[in-house]
Amino acid sequence: MAAKLNIKPIGANILVKPEEASETTKSGLIVQTSSKGERPQKGTVVALGTGAIDESGKKIAFNVRVGDVVMFKKYSPEEVEIDGEEYLIMKEADILGVFN
């Protein structure tokens, strides 16, 4: 993960560094799921946007924090490349849960 990112999400957007999932074949070969065309569903929150605003003009607090490891919907996030690294930008509604 990059130490200092050159971007900060705005609004209700969340920037996540995806975790490459892998599986072991019967022969013991470890295969990254991305090499099979699978999109990751787990990653680490690296930046939070400025926050959503409700109808009364109040800022809505995020339920996740930078550093949280989250599970998210497979096809909702937008893939982006920042400083040569892959990241995902998503809404908090795309996050299904936080790992303990």
The tokens 């400083």 sit on which residue? 83
The tokens 């109040």 sit on which residue? 58
Radius of gyration of the chain from its Cα atoms, rounded to whole angstroms? 15
Amino acid at 26: K
pLDDT 10s digits, 13-64: 999 999 976 666 777 666 655 545 567 799 999 999 999 999 999 999 999 9
**Domain encompassing residue 76:** 13-98
The tokens 């096809």 sit on which residue? 75
- Does any domain span residue 7? no
The tokens 């930078």 sit on which residue? 66
- Does any domain span residue 61? yes
Phi, psi of 78, deg, nearest 5? -95, 125
| pLDDT bracket for residue 2 (50, 70, 90) | very low
Q: Which helix (H) or strand (E) holds 87?
A: strand 85-91
Q: Say how far apart CA 100 and CA 98 lie, in whole Å.
A: 7
- Does any domain span residue 91? yes
- Does any domain span residue 18? yes
Question: For the chain, what is the domain count?
Answer: 1
- Does any domain span residue 4? no
- Does any domain span residue 75? yes
The CATH number that applies at residue 63 is 2.30.33.40
